A = this chain, B = another copy of it.
Amino acid sequence: MPEPLRLGIAGLGTVGTGVVRIIQKHAALLEARCGRPILISAICARNRAKDRGVDLSSYVWEDSATALARRDDVDVLVELVGGDSGPAKAATETALASGKDVVTANKALLAHHGQALAEQAEAAGRVIRFEAAVAGGIPVIKALTEGLAGNQMHRVMGVMNGTCNYILTRMESAGLPYDEVFEEARKLGYLEADPNLDVGGIDAGHKLALLASIAFGTQVSFDAVELEGIGRIAIEDIRHAADMGYRIKLLGVAQMTGRGLEQRMSPCLVPADSPLGQLQGGTNMVVLEGDSVGQIVLRGPGAGEGPTASAVMSDVLDIARGTRISTFGLPAAQLAMPTPAKAAAPAPYYLRMTLLDKPGALAKVAAALGDAGISINRMRQYGHADTTAPVLVVTHKTTRDAIDHACRGFATTGVVIGEPVAIRIEAV
């Protein structure tokens, strides 16, 4: 009779409940697949009284995740509490110190403390697995860490925040302004308690930093991700982009360059008919590029009970099968400290600004672009009824530095009102 693998589940929100449901529904199937029973010993959650639609009566309730992590009848802590510090961090550290493996969906925790936790896990001979932390149900951590382990990776890209993609998709399909769709998303429960985690690109940035660490063998360096959220994208930007055959996506790109590790998470224009451009609503897509394999594209649901619980179970079953892999694919001590490199690969840019409707205003803008060494592909001033005029510019290939230079130039013209919107046009 093989030993069961005994879980302690901390956090019974959507994902935790989904994990319980899978274990109850597929007990025999899971045991057949990994060769041993998967049991839940104990659970904890903030609200004990809440009806979650699953029978929790046979599990021990603990009052804290840390107490759960310490229990003798728990082999694996399943950390679904969330948050980059506090109870999630304490419970994870306690579990490792108590000789338990950890499965987590917590991208924030690993983005901020991944290196220290990986070191602690290795010193204790334990593993931390986090398939559910990135791109929901898509087995992308496994694909990258194991499936493409024979490759030197060149680039990793992805649309990995379903809420942002929902907002951008919905703005286009319904023709609604950002603020209105943002409110819709809030009412639908799509937004984090701190919405800036979503729309500020932070959540997606966490995920990108984790992928970059695995892809390039570097210490997680979330602080080096160039972050830009979607809050400044206006319905006009979406319309102009569509007119030119593009869609706007919150796109993450990480690549190792001669100057260092480039990581950016920002709105980009991508061709409307490309796989990334066609991504609707909450679906995620990750693109992995390696020296032998070329390009692999993975698409699937980026959130939700079933998909995220599916990812958690993949890690649980791996542990049950005896698979042991370093947290970020390399022993923690071998992860290099990356040199952050600002995005330098040239690309065309989309610029939108508002001009004072005065003679010579457009000429001043054009001159500022010229001073920055930027050549213009298209420029258009739209019809207008008041004293200001919207202007749209699509540049030839240039750098972010040159764009920033031009924007500083615009500020001195006296005719550009507010800050221009600058969006990179990414070839994907």
Residues on B with C-beta less than 8 A from A275 are 275, 278, 299
What are 7 sample pairs from A and B whose C-beta atoms fall under 8 A apart? A18-B292, A137-B296, A146-B318, A148-B310, A148-B314, A149-B314, A292-B310
Minimum C-beta distance from A115 to chain B (A) = 16
Please state if A139 and B296 are interface contacts (CB–CB under 8 Å): yes
Q: Which of A25-33, A169-177, A220-228 binds B?
A: A25-33
Please state if B149 and A142 are interface contacts (CB–CB under 8 Å): no
How extensive is the interface on chain A, given as a class?
35 or more
User: What are the interface flags for A125-152 relative to B under an 8 Å C-beta threshold, 1 for contact and 0 otherwise?
Assistant: 0000001000001110011001111111
A323 and B26 alpha carbons, distance in the complex (Å): 23
A299 and B33 alpha carbons, distance in the complex (Å): 26
Please state if B322 and A294 are interface contacts (CB–CB under 8 Å): no
Interface residues of A in 104-120 (CB under 8 A from B): none
Please state if B317 and A150 are interface contacts (CB–CB under 8 Å): yes
Q: Which of A49-57, A329-337, A346-354, A412-420 binds B?
A: A329-337
A323 and B317 alpha carbons, distance in the complex (Å): 12
A150 and B148 alpha carbons, distance in the complex (Å): 22
**Among candidates B131, B149, B294, B329, residue contacting A300 with C-beta atoms closer than 8 Å:** B294
Please state if A297 and B294 are interface contacts (CB–CB under 8 Å): no
Question: At the interface, yes or no: A380 with Cβ under 8 Å from chain B?
Answer: no
Please state if A150 and B30 are interface contacts (CB–CB under 8 Å): yes
A321 and B329 alpha carbons, distance in the complex (Å): 11
Question: At the interface, yes or no: A408 with Cβ under 8 Å from chain B?
Answer: no
Q: Which of A58-66, A196-204, A260-268, A301-309 binds B?
A: A301-309
Residues on B with C-beta less than 8 A from A90 are none
A142 and B323 alpha carbons, distance in the complex (Å): 13
Please state if A299 and B300 are interface contacts (CB–CB under 8 Å): no
Residues on B with C-beta less than 8 A from A304 are 294
Given contacts A142-B142, A150-B314, 7 further A-B contacts (CB under 8 A): A18-B292, A29-B152, A143-B147, A150-B313, A275-B299, A293-B310, A298-B299
Minimum C-beta distance from A147 to chain B (A) = 3
A147 and B315 alpha carbons, distance in the complex (Å): 8
Question: At the interface, yes or no: A124 with Cβ under 8 Å from chain B?
Answer: no
Pick the 10 closest A-B CB pairs, nearest first.
A150-B313, A139-B147, A292-B306, A137-B293, A293-B310, A296-B300, A292-B310, A297-B299, A149-B317, A323-B323
